[in-house]
Structure 1
Amino acid sequence: MAERIPQSVIDEVRSQTNLVDLIQNYTQLVKRGREWNGSCPFHEDRRPSLFVDDKKQVFHCFSCGRSGTAFSFLMEKEGYTYPQAVLSLAKDLNISGLDKYEGQLSARQEKYAGIFDLYSNAERLYTHILLNTTAGEQALEYLHNDRQLDDETIKRYGLGFVPSNNVLLSYAREHNLDEGLLKQSQLFLEQDDEISRDRFNNRVVWPIKDDRGQVRGFSGRSLDPDNPAKYMNSPESPFFNKGHLLYNFDQAKGSIRAGQPAMIFEGFMDVISAALAGAEGAVATMGTALTDAHVKELAKITDRILLIYDGDAAGQKAAKRSIPLIRQVAPQIEIGVITLPDGRDPDEIRRERGLDALKQALDHSVLTPTEFLIQAAKNGKNLQNQAQYLEFLKEAWPILTDASPVEQDYFLKQFSDEYGSDYAALKAELQQYQTSHARTEKKPVAAKKANRSGFGSKQMDWQEPAWDQDDGGNFDSLNQMASAGAGYSSSSDIASHLDEGISQVERAEQGLLMAMIKAPGILAYVKGLPDFAFVHPEYQLLMMLFEAYQQQAGQGFDLAGFMDFVQKPDLNQKMMAIDREFGTLEVQRDAVDDYLRIIMKEAPYQTQVENLKKKMALAMSQHDDTALIQLTTELVNLRKQHAQ
């Protein structure tokens, strides 16, 4: 096995690499202020959203959220491992003598290398049995005749067959594979703590791969009509997580990056059928559960997602659940919902009506989320019946509240025309609903001048601030403070890119974390506070990672070096946001006092207030006057204590 690349070599490659030159191989960049700007090469970017800081050697896209360094850019763009990215750049820089590091696995690959080899060999073995042996004849006939797949399609998607003679277990024994590795692989079933047989015996199998094409698990369909477990997936494991894997993403991501929408299906055969009909951006979840991780992964490379679930109740429920999830996780994403005729799924349309019919259905059956949800609310109701019509309107109001004004007007007119309701009355009722369900905006907590010595009697041991104290003592000016170091050419540029949705507490956490990174005295002081903890766990994790990074890199802070150390896209995105808003600011004592006050006092207070308000609302709905009086008293006392 190749040697691990020394940190000194990694640092040398990073310091000599020009990130602007690297990224310009993929997209044109233009100098704007102290940064470079261009269209993001990871997705269709109509408004150039990628910014590159050539001094710090980091990049960030304000559309898809990607942040990183030269190494992470190549890892994402070219599918490299971390060592492969380092060696590729070293080769470009004519740094010689690195041959002994070729073929080095990533830490995760190294940990599961034996298991991944077994999975890759299992896929090849199962496909060979299906296509080339008598044991696979029944399964091949099923795929040819029932599923109407040719051999080329079977090979493309790695379909296979597992006979009932424990063929994989025999292969493992012949190759003297470690018993512990076999158990850890989850490819076998155990009895009395001993491996007894292949997990997927007598099943047609579909390999489930990660975004780089590595087999992580299988999904199997039984050929035994009496088997109650018709379908079986690999169990959850450290290397197989259904909440993070999308079927066919390894083959679909190129087409999605090239501009095709990401199309999320319910079944693997639906994906294959859609791809055969020209929808190359087709992926599927394991079942119907779309997760935050799925959405985040797709949002990195596209701004359009189409949902194509089955027409049954479970499929419709999944679609209704997925729409708010996508809106919450990736609000920039344009969502469409495809409803297929007669409740058919894509595979049924292909087999019964042909590829042209499926292509036509996928191209011309797209609904907006509002259109789909309104249609779903109508299902099963007799809208000529007054009671059912009023029940439908109750379901329609929250749907229309999330819709654009144009959509609201369109559907209100539709209701009026189809069901005879007065348009003005419908609009008034929608407005009444919106008013009564308006989300109350959290008002910023007024800042109080912090105790000059911090919390308690413990003295802070960092230098006096370089700024005038009045510039940073007021925490309400956090946004202005952040903007001062953003490096854009105008304040409007800053305003358009800063995350307006970030809470006051999280902004305080970001400011404090940067102060801790810049000043060892602040880091030591905050760690010494007995009751301190970041409210959001990602900032607690970043603090711990920074301490580990310091032990490796010594004093001082290099943003690109730290991000390469972290190698977690979500955390690096947070780190980029922190650096952009607070990286150029001098550490100021009054500001740190305010950060701590917000995190340690204001945040718990706000949480208590919100909890009491929820309890009061419940008491009111239950007409429990005794509880309401008690809770009101608690709220008054809490506010009095906080004001002291």
Structure 2
Amino acid sequence: MAQRIPQTVIDEVRQKTNIVDLIGQYTQLVKRGKEWNGSCPFHEDRRPSLFVDEKKQVFHCFSCGRSGTIFSFLMEKENLTYPAAIESLAQAAGITLDPRYQSQAESPREQRFTAIYQLYSAAQRLYQHILLNTTAGEQALAYLHEQRGVDDELIRQYGIGFVPGDNVLLSYAKEQELSPQLQNDSNLFLTNEAGQSRDRFANRIVWPIANASGQVVGFSGRALDAKNPIKYMNSPESEFFNKGQLLYNFDQVKNNIRQASTAMILEGFMDVMSVNMLDPAIGVATMGTALTSDHVRQIKRLAKKVLLVYDGDQAGQNAAKRSITLIDQEAPEIEVGVIVLPDNLDPDEMRLQRGLPALQNSLQQGVLTPVEFLVSAARTGRNLSNQAQYLDFLKEVMVILKQASPVEQDIQLSRLSEEFGTDKGALQQQLATTTIPKIRQETQGSGLIPPPHIPVEPDLNAYLPGSSLSRIELAERGLIMAMIKSPAMMSYVKSQAGFAFVHSDYQLIMMLIEVYQQNVGSEFDLAKFMDFIQKPALNQKIMAIEREFGDLAVERDAVQDYLRVVMREAPYEHKVNELTQAIRLAKQQHDDSKLIQLSTELINLKRQMQQDRR
């Protein structure tokens, strides 16, 4: 059996491989100061945004966000495993590997994940066989055929299955002599207090969830029994199943998205299946969570346009607003369109009730610009025949239009003038005197941002000049760098009673730093640490932290300041956010007494925060 490649060999390969020479084979690099600059070979990069640090042997693209080392670059560019990338670069550097280390040996962690993935693949095949070919799956199959309009071909295409209540997967695991530890790690089983296990998704129709490579890493199950209080159940979060990083069906349509340069983001799995009956199939969905930065980064590598197709209810409108803002922050170069289907139908309902041609027509003809959508959404909950509510509506619309192009401003003002009989000149004058609330200017740049219903004071999570990060996240990054440079500082921070990072990524990085210091050594090497992590999203953060704080000395006073911000200001931020949301709700409900009470609480809270800062 092949053995894991020793760290000494990996270090030798790194020392004998110049990252500039390696990346220079894929894109032209030019020396700019201490770094090399060129067009990123992972995406269409009109403005060269790739920077390579020859001394530290790392790279970073400021456009797509990719960061890494010689190994991660080759892994992604040539679709290699970590051991295979090491072998390839060793051969190029003239290093002969001991045969014991070859054949792409897997680490214990990789072996564990491989076993879990094999179990997931087997489970998917078993569940689909039960649905299509056994009496146990007849009821579920009839439901999919008759009520959801899904035929056997679609079932096979999307890997849909059914899990009976007789613990069929548990029996399979025992027949295969899979270890209890593997069964537990897989999250495919539930264990009661008596230590008895059962299939997690029993009596549910299941949709497999795959990562971008097509490997099944989780399931989403719908209860077949209508009386079951838990209608939907997803696999729990784990090292290999992260809803904030996974997009349903992305593995199947990523090539279509690349060719069409367009992605369609929906809310439900059945919605994805319905829109992908049309050509081109470019639909993906988030899984019970809001669109995240990781989602946007995956999409922007392939698409120049994103179509948001959310439900027409208030929750769907809010999700669309958040997504518009997030895409503008993470990928301002992407064109955004918003589709709201008629009568608040979702795509699957429209397909079933009105047919595919009607769905196709609505998807093609119903695309709104973000400005159109936000202006339309501003009507929600308002009686615009009431003068006070109409004027309130106009205030919100003017903030939206203030950030729009002159053409869209003119179009929308003309529509408002025609619909409500308001003089267009008066509307233009109000737009000219409208200012964007300060928090929007400081935190969101020049992009289109859905305005709040009431003006708010700058959040305590105030962004610093020239940075898109909050005081709290900057403090967290400063602490991370201090712990990287000093194991003693790691011990000091961990000794603080009640300390925890606000952002979970930094909590995970802290744990990885500690493991790195214990296993590799206290002397920090950026490239070695990034290879140790092998998590692209975390490596991007590590790279950013190093660029911001890498040249600063570790000082106890600075660490104390960072701790104060994280431990004392973060609770304020949480309370401010709660009050801000409550104020918006009170405004929507026209509850003036509640609005006054909450606004007073918010002002007092921020005054207290300012006093504590002094």
Shorter-chain TM-score bucket reads: 0.7 to 0.9
Please say which of residues 214-223 and 174-183 is displaced more in the overlay. Answer: 174-183
Shift, 1:318, TM fit: 2.5
Aligned twin of 1:234 = 234
Rounded to whole Å, the distance in 1 between the matches of 2:312 and 2:401 is 23
Partner of 2:122: 121
* Distance in 2 (alpha carbons) for counterparts of 1:58 and 1:407: 43
* CA displacement at 1:364 relative to structure 2: 3.8
* Residue-by-residue CA offset, 1:385-409 (whole Å, 9 max, x unaligned): 4344234224424433554455444
Could you tell me how far apart the structure 2 residues matched to 1:578 and 1:524 are?
Answer: 19
Amino acid at match of 1:126: Y
SS at match of 1:434: coil
Find the aligned partners of 1:629 and 1:376 in 2 and give their Cα distance.
28
Distance 2:604 2:306 in 1: 49
Distance in 2 (alpha carbons) for counterparts of 1:380 and 1:305: 27
Give 1:508 shift.
Answer: 8.7
Structure-1 residue corresponding to 2:274: 273
Deviation of 1:6 after TM superposition, in Å, equals 1.0
Deviations 1:161-217 (A, max 9, x none): 233443223323333334454455443455553546534344332111223333222
Could you say which residue in structure 2 is the equivalent of 1:28?
Answer: 27
Q: Does the 8 Å contact 2:163/2:206 carry over to 1?
A: yes
Q: Is the 8 A contact 1:323 1:335 kept in 2?
A: yes
State the match for 2:157 in structure 1.
Answer: 156
Task: Write the mapping of 1:492-571 to structure 2, written as runs, cut at 5 A.
Answer: 500-501=467-468, 549=516, 558-571=525-538
* Structure 2 SS opposite 1:193: coil
- Taking structure 1 as the reference length, what is the TM-score of the superposition? 0.71
Q: Equivalents in 2 of 1:191, 1:324: separation in Å? A: 43
Kindly indicate whether residue 291 of structure 2 is the aligned counterpart of residue 290 of structure 1.
yes
CA distance in 2, matches of 1:340, 1:62: 36
Question: 272-281 or 64-73, which moves further after superposition?
Answer: 272-281
Query: What is the alpha-carbon distance in structure 2 between the residues aligned to residue 191 and residue 603 of structure 1?
Result: 38
User: Within 5 A, what are the aligned runs for 1:25-104?
Assistant: 27-33=26-32, 35-77=35-77, 80-90=80-90, 95-98=96-99, 100-102=101-103, 104=105
Q: Given that residues 234 and 240 in structure 1 are in contact (C-alpha distance below 8 angstroms), is that contact kept between their aligned partners in structure 2?
A: no
Aligned to 1:471: none
Alpha-carbon displacement from aligned partner over 1:235-285 (angstroms, at most 9, x marks no partner)? 424244434432122333444455633321111122123333234442212
CA contact (8 A) 1:69 1:560 kept: yes
Asked whether the equivalents of residues 123 and 207 of structure 1 are also in contact (C-alpha less than 8 Å), the reply is yes
- Name the CA shift for 1:352/1:89 in 2 (closer, same or farther; >3 Å): farther
Q: Give the 3-state SS of the residue equivalent to 1:233 in structure 2.
A: strand
Matches of 1:319 and 1:166, distance apart in 2: 40
The alignment covers a number of residue pairs equal to: 577
> Is the Cα–Cα contact under 8 Å of residues 81 and 106 in structure 1 kept in the other structure?
no
Contact map agreement 2:81 2:104 (CA 8 A) in 1: no
| 5+ residue gaps, structure 1 | 443-478, 480-497
SS at match of 2:435: helix
Matches within 5 A, 1:324-363: 324-328=325-329, 333-351=334-352, 357-363=358-364
Is contact 1:44–1:258 with CA below 8 Å preserved after alignment?
no
Q: Is the 8 A contact 1:63 1:332 kept in 2?
A: no
Residue 19 and residue 148 in structure 1: after superposition, are their counterparts in 2 closer, same or farther (change >3 A)?
farther
- Name the structure 2 match of 1:216: 217
Q: Residues 389-441 of structure 1, C-alpha deviation per residue, up to 9 Å, x if partnerless?
A: 23422442443355445544432333223212233433444455526656686
Alignment of 1:166-205 (within 5 A): 166-179=167-180, 181-183=182-184, 185-190=186-191, 193-195=194-196, 197-205=198-206
The structure with more radius of gyration: 1
Q: Taking structure 1 as reference, are residues 72 and 362 closer, same or farther at Cα in structure 2, changes over 3 Å only?
A: farther
How far did residue 218 of structure 1 move?
1.7
What's the counterpart of residue 473 of structure 1?
none
Question: Do residues 13 (structure 1) and 13 (structure 2) align?
Answer: yes
2:516 and 2:532 in contact (8 A); partners too: yes
Partner residue of 2:418? 417
Report the equivalent of 2:367: 366
Displacement of 1:327: 3.9
Which shows bigger deviation, 396-405 or 525-534?
Answer: 525-534
Map of 1:248 onto structure 2: 249
**What TM-score do the two structures reach when normalised by structure 2?**
0.74
Aligned to 1:322: 323
Aligned position for 2:394? 393
User: 1:43–1:302: 8 Å Cα contact kept in structure 2?
Assistant: no
- Shift of the 134–301 alpha-carbon distance from structure 1 to 2, 3 Å rule, reads same
- 1:483 — aligned with what? none
**Counterpart amino acid of residue 468 in structure 2:** G
Aligned to 2:590: none
Tell me by how many angstroms 1:66 deviates. Answer: 1.5
The range that moved more, 541-550 or 315-324, is 541-550
Q: Is the 8 A contact 1:51 1:60 kept in 2?
A: yes
Cα distance in 1 for partners of 2:574, 2:155 equals 56
Q: Distance between the aligned counterparts of 1:515 and 1:200, measured in 2?
A: 44
Partner SS state of residue 208, structure 1: strand
Q: Verify the 8 A CA contact 1:218 1:234 in the aligned structure 2.
A: yes
**Partner SS state of residue 117, structure 2:** helix
| AA partner of residue 164 (structure 2) | P
8 Å CA contact 1:265–1:283 kept in 2: the answer is yes
Instruction: Describe the superposition over 1:73-119 as per-residue Cα deviations: whole angstroms up to 9, x where unpaired.
Output: 24444555433433444455564434545354455444455443322
Q: Distance in 2 between matches of 1:167 and 1:544?
A: 37
Within 2, Cα distance between the matches of 1:434 and 1:200?
53
CA contact (8 A) 1:83 1:106 kept: no
Deviation readout 1:479-507 (Å, 9 max, x if unpaired): 9xxxxxxxxxxxxxxxxxx9643578977
- 3-state SS of paired residue (1:378): coil
TM-superposed deviation, 1:63:
1.0
Which moved further from structure 2: 424-433 or 628-637? 628-637
**Contact kept? 1:60, 1:68, Cα under 8 Å:** yes
Gaps of 5+ in 2: 444-463, 584-594
Query: CA offset at residue 219 of structure 1?
Result: 2.0
SS in 2 for 1:156: helix
Write the letter of the residue equivalent to 1:559: L
Question: What amino acid does structure 2 have at the position aligned with 1:346?
Answer: P
- The CA RMSD over aligned residues, in Å, is 5.0
- Do the aligned partners of residues 605 and 184 (structure 1) sit closer, same or farther apart at CA in structure 2, a change above 3 Å counting? closer
